[in-house]
Chains A and B, each alone.
Chain A
Amino acid sequence: MSVVKLEAPDLEEGVAPLSPIILTSPIPHRRRRVRVRVPRTVRRIVGPLIVLILWQVVCSAGVFTSFEVASPIAVFDAGRELAVQGVLLPNLLISLRRVLEGLGLGVGIGVTLAVLSGLFRAGEDLLDPVVQAARAVPILGLVPLAIIWFGVGEMPKIFLIALGSTFAIYINTFAGIRSVDQKLVEAGETFGLSRWGLVRRVILPGALPNFLVGLRLALVGSWLIVIVAEEINAQSGIGYLIMQAQTTDRTDIMMMGLAIYAILGLLADALVRLLERRLLSWRRGFVGA
């Protein structure tokens, strides 16, 4: 209809009578927020610290024997003992190196595959089913095969770690590439960006937030694999220390090894958070109340 006739409401008849309105504050219970400025790093340590204290309290109360569960203090002492013997640091560095090499390889492969299947429909059709199928294979089931293929040196460990991290990278980066706003790609095209320019300046940076989520998952995955790889077949590394401690019934050393993994996990996560802050400073997303 092109001619719309608007009728003024007839105030004489059929109008509901006005009822009284109760007015309240838009915020149900006005709470005054007391903001104590505590640095973010300190706030993030509080949670793990509480867990530690609870752990110590439970152990001191004698709930477990020291053979079942070592107290945090005992674990710390074990760590100091190994450090003094000069055993801790070299093994730690070896584990760290394995993770970094495996992760580097895994990230490289994951990103390459994600870019190929993210940018090209043909790549997706070709690669994605293969990757999804490979992802379903339990990595730990590959340990015997890895030994057959690569022997007992560093290669099987790095191979397993790479495999353990690559899928998280692939899936998240692929999703990131596909979630880049088509309108931005179109704008880039109209303003003369080349195909490579589009990939470099629009598509990959747009996929970066998802990639970083994948990186966090991959970090966790790679630490998970390294301990298994080192327990099954190694002469060095934190996992090897744990295995040795098992044969000598040293619960405190076993738990120290696990504690080191936990601390490294925390540090790695902090590193990625730092990366996120640096690389994603353009974002104006919800950061939590």
Chain B
Amino acid sequence: MADIKGHVTPFESLSGAAVVATNVQRSFNGRDVLRNVNLTIERDQFVALLGRSGTGKSTLLRILGGLDADYEGEVLVPERRAVVFQEARLIPWLKVLSNVVLGLSPRLEGRAALRERGLDALREVELERHAKDWPLTLSGGEAQRVALARALVREPQLMLLDEPFGALDALTRIKMQSLLQRLCALHRPAVLLVTHDVDEAILLADRVTVLVDGQISLDVEVDIPRPRSRGDAKFIELRDRLLRELGVEERTAAPPSTLVSLAPRSRRGDEVSR
């Protein structure tokens, strides 16, 4: 598994938490990106982290993934964790199957068993037939499914998804979302999904958090029965609330008077964008 840096001490999670982050701070060249972040994720809980671009969502994810050591505060994560990035980041000169089992040691279970495990993971994302192909022959959606298989094959206790569908077209994204939902229901890892897509967050997550000004400004349970529909009244209500928190107003069929009444709110949005 990923290199355990000195500050991640072994810790038996009695409470059933998969992530405990306390007072996490991170600054780049004197600019505070994370001011004071507190976040707990229960095991098998799916948490979405929303935020406008540049608010430090990915920074937090990278800290949890052990990719960024220069933070302050206390962070505890499971040992078995996997990351899916926005780009698939497959190694172009390794065949698809080798990419999936990359970094897994065949010494524990033998080469054949490892290969079987890789194929099983590819089967789950319905790409078994591409096992022997070069990554560059895959479409964007297929490559991202391989990346998902590469994460799942490790049976992670924590999955970190950094805008995994951000670079995909709208139709592929919908397919990927339901695939992710199915796989998470099956494997039940704790998940942190970083996204700027409010609908995606509501659709997939048990809990949605919003990062504003380097702090978690909102943390809500998504109390909508699955399978969720974008047309659900609760869905729309939560989406409006989240968008407001992000400092964005959608002008749909709202009467002009609504816009006027929200004017003070917009100033808040300016603060956020700084």
Contact with A along B251-274 (1 / 0, CB 8 A): 100000001001101101110000
Contacts of B66 in A (CB 8 A): 190
In angstroms, Cα B91 to Cα A208, docked, is 14
The answer on a CB contact under 8 Å between B89 and A3 is: no
The answer on a CB contact under 8 Å between A193 and B103 is: yes
In angstroms, Cα B249 to Cα A6, docked, is 13
Contacts of B104 in A (CB 8 A): 192
Partner among A188, A190, A283, A284 whose Cβ is within 8 Å of the Cβ of B65? A190
The answer on a CB contact under 8 Å between A190 and B91 is: no
A244 to chain B, nearest CB (A): 49
A67 lies within 8 A of chain B by Cβ: no
Partner among A188, A205, A283, A284 whose Cβ is within 8 Å of the Cβ of B102? A188
Main secondary structure of the interface of B (DSSP, over half): loop
A81 lies within 8 A of chain B by Cβ: no
Partner among A192, A201, A208, A283 whose Cβ is within 8 Å of the Cβ of B136? A283
In angstroms, Cα B137 to Cα A13, docked, is 52
Q: Could you tell me how many residues of chain A have their Cβ less than 8 Å away from some Cβ of chain B?
A: 27
A170 to chain B, nearest CB (A): 22
Contacts of B137 in A (CB 8 A): 284
A131 lies within 8 A of chain B by Cβ: no
Contacts of B65 in A (CB 8 A): 190
In angstroms, Cα B135 to Cα A184, docked, is 13
In angstroms, Cα B250 to Cα A88, docked, is 85
B218 to chain A, nearest CB (A): 16
A280 to chain B, nearest CB (A): 8
In angstroms, Cα B89 to Cα A6, docked, is 38
B92 lies within 8 A of chain A by Cβ: yes
A281 lies within 8 A of chain B by Cβ: yes
The answer to whether A3 and B259 touch (CB under 8 A), given A187-B85, A190-B82, is yes
Partner among A3, A183, A197, A280 whose Cβ is within 8 Å of the Cβ of B263? A3
B162 to chain A, nearest CB (A): 11
Contact with B along A125-165 (1 / 0, CB 8 A): 00000000000000000000000000000000000000000
State the B residues within 8 Å of A (CB).
Answer: 1-3, 65-67, 82-83, 85, 87, 89, 91-94, 102-104, 134-137, 150, 154, 247-249, 251, 259, 262-263, 265-266, 268-270
Beyond A1-B270, A191-B103, A192-B103, 5 additional contacts (C-beta under 8 Å) are A2-B265, A3-B251, A3-B266, A188-B91, A205-B94
State the A residues within 8 Å of B (CB).
Answer: 1-6, 183-184, 186-193, 197, 201-202, 205-206, 208, 280-284
**Could you jot down 17 A-B contacts, CB within 8 Å?**
A2-B265, A2-B266, A2-B268, A5-B259, A184-B91, A189-B3, A189-B67, A190-B65, A190-B67, A190-B83, A191-B82, A192-B1, A192-B2, A192-B104, A201-B91, A201-B102, A281-B134
